[in-house]
Amino acid sequence: MRIPHTIARTGAVAAALSALLVGGTVSATTADAVVGSVCYSALPSQAHDTLDLIDRGGPFPYSQDGSVFQNRESVLPRQSSGYYHEYTVITPGSSTRGARRIVTGQEYEEDYYTSDHYATFRLVDFDC
């Protein structure tokens, strides 16, 4: 079951920070490929809407929403097929799905935001 994004998440971010604080290393399953993070409050309002829809289980505006994200770009940490799922973040004025997405990971219930169609990702930080 997915933890609602309004509750502070511990998962990948906490594991990575704990490892770094005690002089350890961050494993490939936590955050090694993540470019950075973004505060939930800094996301566009449409991303908030998408995260709310994910928490509620839909309904989603596009048939592709919820489909498996293959991570072909290998920007996110490597995981088995089916680990990641993608959701559209509506772009006002766009006649297509646009380039913005939320990609979710199942084990740590992490949420990643991309505004440039998978070229870069930011782990969503719900604590700021």
Does the annotation mark 86 as catalytic? yes
For the chain, the three-class secondary structure string (H helix, E strand, C coil) is: CCCCCCCCCCHHHHHHHHHHHCCCCCCCCCCCCCCEEEEHHHCCHHHHHHHHHHHHCCCCCCCCCCEEECCCCCCCCCCCCCCEEEEECCCCCCCCCCCCEEEEECCCCCEEEECCCCCCCEEEECCC
* From 85, 107, 110, 117, the catalytic residue: 117
* From 85, 86, 107, 109, the catalytic residue: 86
Does the annotation mark 110 as catalytic? no
Give the catalytic positions in this structure: 86, 117
